[in-house]
Amino acid sequence: MSPAETRGPAETREPEPAETPEPAETREPEPAETRKPAESPEPEPAETREPAETPAAAGDPAQASAQARAQAQAQDFAELGGLMLARSTVDRVSVRRGDPEWVAAAWADPRTRVVVLDTTGQAVVRFGDNQAELVLVPPGEAPDGLSFLLGVDDDGVTYFGVLERPADTPEPSGPDEEPARPEQQTTQQQAAWLAKAGPGERKAGLREAAALLGDRDAGLFTHAVALANWHVSHTHCPRCGALTETFAAGHAQRCPVDGSEHFPRIDPAVIMLVTDQDDRCLLARNRRWPQRRVSILAGFVEPGESAEQAVAREVSEETGIAVSRVRYVGSQPWPMPQSLMLGFRAVASGDLSLRVDDEEIAEAQWYSRDELRAALAAGDILLPPPVSIAHQLIQSWYGGELPGAW
């Protein structure tokens, strides 16, 4: 089967943290209330970090300060570690996307493997005990649909993704409904999901499977879902409305009428762990989330705004807290449908009284490590799941594996 393109009507999605994909030229920021915070492991507060002194730094205060910042950032990256959706072992071979002959030969190679996605973004996953792997198929067994090149591994195996045509996706059988998003699940919903989850092959979404997949499969699944979401929601030229054509091995679209080229939309969103001078962590509950679900603050970067400015603005708007020492610590894609989560640490300054906006944020509270541990043990709060960058940021501040359920 040769790669084929499928176009479906553009769909409107609720952000999570990013939703409702629209052409980049006309994009409007999605509502912050559905944004999902990202995680980063806990770095020591920047103000308490002391770099090991070197002879050069000892005689030059400016150089010593620069070394301190570099050391703090290096520690953040080291602590952040295993972001579930920021893993990959496959070379994306972007230089090959413009070579139709190479792409066709790769598709014809019997060693090539394909990740098949249905129109909901799910793929068949083989679950085992505390692990999972994608069920990949050779091109000849892939359904007709839109194909896109994902990359080549160290053994020379090429990987593609295929988005099934809508008619190829069977209607759900049985009483099961679309599960609530992790940050919106109640404890009972989580228990019900865990009860039916078990070994075997079944369709699963990226959120469900990512934490159990190996690095190769996590990267392939994330890449495929991101491209599929874009193609499903961007089907027509934003300038003239003509149906677009796919090129660059599924990584771009071209309008056949005006010749304009369009590329996957990515929405940058900041997610930040804020601490006070006593190193307490600020957690909040989005008004749309169930009771007890809390996380760190997050929001989209606005036009003409730096990521650091977005951190300060979002924290101030949502909780009335001013921050300083804003420091980037890591990122991961969140293709549900199109966000890139930029993780930050920040330190509260001035008045620590919390004044939530009462529109997006329902409640917020400072937690010491002991207070967080006690609240989790008592079931008073639920944290975001490990697949999110939010979980990793909170865990890095906490200093060890977080107790409790998600």
Unique residue bearing structure tokens 């139709």:
100
Separation CA 387–CA 211 (nearest Å): 6
Separation CA 344–CA 397 (nearest Å): 12
Confidence of residue 67 (pLDDT cuts 50, 70, 90): low
pLDDT tens for 300-316 read 999 999 999 999 999 99
Residue that wins the pLDDT comparison between 126 and 22:
126
To the nearest 5 percent, what fractions of the chain are helix, strand and coil?
A: 30, 25, 45
- Over residues 195-219, the mean pLDDT reads 88
* pLDDT number for residue 403: 85
Cβ pair 100, 163 in contact under 8 A: no
* pLDDT > 70? residue 103: yes
Separation CA 370–CA 3 (nearest Å): 55
Confidence of residue 405 (pLDDT cuts 50, 70, 90): low
* pLDDT number for residue 245: 97
Alpha-helix residue ranges (DSSP H) falling in 197-251: 206-209, 215-233
Which residues share a beta bridge with 42? none
* pLDDT number for residue 198: 66
Least reliable range by pLDDT among 84-93, 249-258, 290-299, 397-406: 397-406
Separation CA 70–CA 46 (nearest Å): 11
Confidence of residue 199 (pLDDT cuts 50, 70, 90): confident
pLDDT tens for 333-350 read 999 999 999 999 999 999
Question: Cβ contacts of residue 352 below 8 Å, gap of 6+?
Answer: 276, 321, 366
Separation CA 221–CA 179 (nearest Å): 19
* pLDDT number for residue 291: 92
pLDDT tens for 377-391 read 999 999 999 999 999
Which one-letter DSSP state was computed for residue 97? Answer: T
pLDDT tens for 161-198 read 999 988 644 444 433 444 444 444 444 554 455 445 56
Residue that wins the pLDDT comparison between 291 and 74:
291
- b/e code 207-239 from CB counts within 10 Å (16+ = b): bbbbbbbeebbbbbbbbbbbbbbbbbbbebbbe
* pLDDT > 50? residue 15: no
